[in-house]
Amino acid sequence: MPYYQMRCNLCIPERNKHTVIVDEDKSIIPESNAPTVPGDMTERGCAFAGARGVVGGPIVDVIHMIHAPVGCGYYTWGTRRHLGDGYNWAMPGVLENEANHRRHCYTTAMTEQDIVFGGMEKLKNALLEAFKINPGASAAIIYMTCSTALIGDDIENVAKEVSKIVGKPVFACASPGFCGVSQSKGHHEFNFQFYKWLLKYREEHPEVCLKEEEKTPYDVNLIGDYNIDWDLVTIVPLFEKIGVRVLNVFTGNSRFMNLLKLPDAKLNIVHCQRSATYIAELIRQGFDIPFIRVSLFGIEQTAKALRDTAEWFGDEKMKKRAEEVIEEETEAIRPAIEWYRERLAGKRIAIYVGAPRVWHWPKVMEELGMEVVACMTTFGHKEDYEKIVQRVKPGTLIIDNPNEFEIEEMIETCKPDLFLTGLKEKYLVRKFGVPTLNSHSYEAGPYAGFRGLVNFARDIYQALYAPVWRLAKEEF
Ligand code: SF4
pLDDT digits (tens, 9 = 90+) for 149-207: 999 999 999 999 999 999 999 999 999 999 999 999 999 999 999 999 999 999 999 99
Of 428, 378, 358, 375, the C-alpha closest to 44 is 378
Tell me, yes or no, whether 279 and 185 share the same domain.
Answer: no
Number of folded domains in the chain?
A: 3
Q: Is residue 176 part of a domain?
A: yes
Q: Pick from 204, 229, 254: which residue ends a domain?
A: 204
Residue 475 confidence class, pLDDT cut points 50, 70, 90: low
**Does residue 2 lie in a domain region?**
no
Residue 136 above 70 pLDDT? yes
Burial status of residue 339 (CB atoms within 10 A of its CB: 0-12, 13-18, 19 or more):
middle
pLDDT band at 95 (very low <50, low <70, confident <90, very high): confident
Nearest CA to ligand 1 atom 6: 177
CB atoms closer than 10 angstroms to residue 314: 8
Residues with Cβ within 8 Å of 51's Cβ and at least 6 positions away in sequence, in order, are 143, 173, 175, 186, 187, 189, 190
Q: Are 51 and 184 part of one and the same domain?
A: yes
* Alpha-helical segments (H) within 273-374: 277-287, 299-313, 316-344, 356-367
What is the pLDDT, as a whole number, of residue 103?
78
Position in ligand 1 atom list of the atom nearest CA 47: 6
Q: If DSSP codes are grouped into helix, strand and coil, which group holds residue 176? A: coil
Structural domain includes residue 41: no
CA angle 204, 173, 138 (to 5 degrees): 55
What percentage of the chain reaches a pLDDT higher than 70? Answer: 98
- Return the pLDDT at 1: 55
Is 42 a domain residue? no
232 and 199 fall within a common domain: no
pLDDT for position 2: 73
Same domain, 82 and 194: yes
pLDDT at 73: 87
Please determine, for residue 78, whether its predicted confidence score (pLDDT) is greater than 60: yes
Q: Which of 42, 46, 183 to mutate to test the pocket of ligand 1 (most atoms within 8 A of CB)?
A: 46
Domain boundary among the residues 150, 169, 204 is at 204
Q: Tell me the C-alpha to C-alpha distance, in Å, between residue 49 and each of 45, 66, 190, 224, 326.
A: 6, 11, 11, 16, 37
Q: What is the pTM of this model?
A: 0.96
Answer whether residue 136 is part of any domain.
yes
In a domain, 173, yes or no: yes
**What CATH number should be reported for the domain holding residue 189?**
3.40.50.1980
Please give the Cα distance from 322 to 311 (Å, whole number): 10
Residue 91 CA to residue 29 CA, distance in Å, equals 51
Task: Give yes or no: residues 376 and 462 share one domain.
Answer: yes
Ligand 1, atom 5: nearest CA belongs to which residue?
A: 72
pLDDT band at 324 (very low <50, low <70, confident <90, very high): very high
The CA 122 to ligand 1 mean position distance, Å, reads 19
Please tell me whether residues 170 and 276 are part of one structural domain. no
What Rg, from alpha-carbon coordinates, does the chain have? 23
Q: How far apart are CA 375 and CA 372, in angstroms?
A: 8
Q: What is the pLDDT of residue 471?
A: 80
Do residue 425 and residue 382 come from a single domain?
yes
Per-residue pLDDT, 369: 98
Query: Is residue 268 a contact partner of residue 259, using CB atoms and an 8 Å limit?
Result: no
Residues 265 and 294 in one domain: yes
Residue ending a domain, choose from 327, 357, 383: 327
pLDDT at 77: 67
Which ligand 1 atom sits nearest the alpha carbon of residue 147? 3
pLDDT tier for residue 474 given thresholds of 50, 70 and 90: low
pLDDT for position 422: 87
Q: Which of 181, 168, 118 is nearest to 141 (CA)?
A: 168
**Dihedral over alpha carbons 447, 453, 459, 461 (to 10 degrees):** 160
> In this structure, are residues 217 and 130 in contact, taking their beta carbons and an 8 Å threshold?
no
Decide if 159 is inside a domain: yes
Strand (E) or helix (H) holding 28: none
122, 188: one domain:
yes
- Looking at residues 406-419, what average pLDDT do you find? 97
Q: In what order do the strands lie in the sheet with 139-144?
A: 106-107, 62-67, 139-144, 170-174
Residue ranges making up the domain that contains 423: 7-36+333-475
For residue 11, how many other CB atoms are within 10 A of its CB? Answer: 8
Question: What per-residue confidence (pLDDT) applies to 390?
Answer: 97
What's the sign of the alpha-carbon dihedral 80, 361, 468, 427?
positive
Cβ pair 182, 379 in contact under 8 A:
yes
Tens of pLDDT, residues 211-267: 999 999 999 999 999 999 999 999 999 999 999 999 999 999 999 999 999 999 999
Sheet of 245-251: strand order equals 245-251, 219-225, 267-270, 291-293
Closest atom of ligand 1 to CA, residue 75: 5
Is the same domain home to 216 and 198? no
Q: Which residues pair with 220 in a beta bridge?
A: 246, 267
- Closest-CA residue to 19 (of 371, 405, 298): 405
CA–centroid distance, 245 to ligand 1, in Å, is: 39
Query: How far, in Å, is the centroid of ligand 1 from the Cα of 146?
Result: 6
Confidence of residue 102 (pLDDT cuts 50, 70, 90): confident
Q: Which residues are the active-site residues?
A: 46, 49, 80, 187
pLDDT band at 363 (very low <50, low <70, confident <90, very high): very high
Shared domain for 23 and 56, answered yes or no, is: no
Cβ neighbours for 197, distance < 8 A, ≥ 6 positions apart: 171, 172
Tell me whether residue 130 is in a domain: yes
Alpha carbons within 13 A on the beta-carbon side of 287: 21
pLDDT at 476 over 60: no
Judgement on whether residues 349 and 269 belong to the same structural domain of the protein: no
